[in-house]
Chains A and B, each alone.
Chain A
């Protein structure tokens, strides 16, 4: 039972480069989301999806794109990396209905933009 798998674990980008952070879950969860974690800020929601083909913006969406073509995968794209996007990124998934709406998190991707 893999849970939520994020790749890569570490990445260094130059300003202006683009890249995709991968997230996959094998629990058949409808809901998936991306958070960024910054010191003293807690976790802030970037984008989320309630099912395949449906995405929406969270609290800090600027500079990021997402898509949800399958239930399992929810990649996060950085279009043109900036130093302000240096952060630790977490993907999380959950059932969207019923009482068991507790999230499973991936182990994170530590991104540095230089």
Chain B
């Protein structure tokens, strides 16, 4: 079955530091890949997505590139802010031909950014 593995947290960074959160996946074919963010006390918000190999998703200074050869979708940001403190989830959906609509999530990585 499909699965997503992301780096364990929590991750604590100083403001303006570089962020990488690793995410690798197991799936048949070319799934769509997502990063969701959950701020304290809130639901999940779509941060960025990529639907085919070599696509780069980007939003709010965050980027992730769909790497089919390494089955990875690592999240990066060049300079984090205190307001980026949240839990980040990597997720995938199987390709449309697979007939599955289920989002498969990693376990989440909690990021804390200190001033």
Interface set of A (CB-CB < 8 Å, partner B): 31, 33, 35, 40-45, 48, 50, 58, 90, 92, 94, 96-97, 99, 101-108
Contacts and interface: CB of A to CB of B under 8 A. Distances in A.
Report which residue of B49, B93, B101 has the largest number of chain A beta carbons within 10 angstroms of its beta carbon. B101
A103 B43 contact: no
Interface residues of B, number: 20
- Interface of B (DSSP majority class): strand
Contact of B49 (A33, A35, A41, A102): A102
Contacts of A106: 43
B42 interface: yes
B34 A102 contact: yes
Given A33-B101, A50-B101, A58-B102, 20 more contacts: A31-B101, A33-B102, A33-B103, A42-B89, A42-B106, A42-B107, A92-B103, A96-B101, A101-B32, A102-B34, A102-B46, A102-B49, A103-B46, A103-B103, A104-B46, A105-B44, A105-B45, A106-B43, A107-B43, A108-B43
